[in-house]
A and B are shown apart, each in its own frame.
Chain A
Amino acid sequence: DGGITQSPKYLFRKEGQNVTLSCEQNLNHDAMYWYRQDPGQGLRLIYYSQIVNDFQKGDIAEGYSVSREKKESFPLTVTSAQKNPTAFYLCASRRTGGPDTQYFGPGTRLTVL
Chain B
Amino acid sequence: SQQGEEDPQALSIQEGENATMNCSYKTSINNLQWYRQNSGRGLVHLILIRSNEREKHSGRLRVTLDTSKKSSSLLITASRAADTASYFCATDGGNQGGKLIFGQGTELSVKP
Binding site for B on A (CB under 8 A): 6, 31, 33, 35, 40-45, 48, 50, 56, 58-59, 88, 90, 92, 94, 96, 99-107, 109
Contact = CB atoms under 8 A, between A and B. Distances in A.
Contacts of A92: 42-43
Contacts of B104: 41-42
B43 A104 contact: yes
Contact of B98 (A43, A59, A94, A107): A94
Contacts of B40: 88, 107, 109
Closest A-B pairs by Cβ, 7 of them? A104-B42, A42-B102, A43-B102, A104-B43, A42-B104, A106-B42, A101-B45
A3 to B, nearest CB: 10
Q: Is the interface of A mostly helix, strand, loop or mixed?
A: strand
Given A6-B42, A59-B1, 13 more contacts: A40-B105, A40-B107, A42-B4, A42-B88, A42-B105, A48-B97, A99-B31, A100-B92, A101-B33, A101-B45, A102-B43, A104-B43, A107-B41
Contact of A105 (B31, B33, B42, B48): B42
Contacts of A59: 1
Contacts of B35: 104
B52 to A, nearest CB: 14
Contacts of A101: 33, 45, 48
Interface string B20-46: 000000000011010100001111110
Interface of B: prevailing SS: loop
15 contacts: A31-B98, A41-B104, A41-B105, A43-B102, A44-B102, A56-B97, A88-B40, A90-B43, A100-B30, A102-B100, A103-B45, A105-B42, A106-B41, A107-B40, A107-B41
A65 to B, nearest CB: 19
Contacts of A58: 99
Interface string B67-86: 00000000000000000000
A99 B49 CA distance: 10
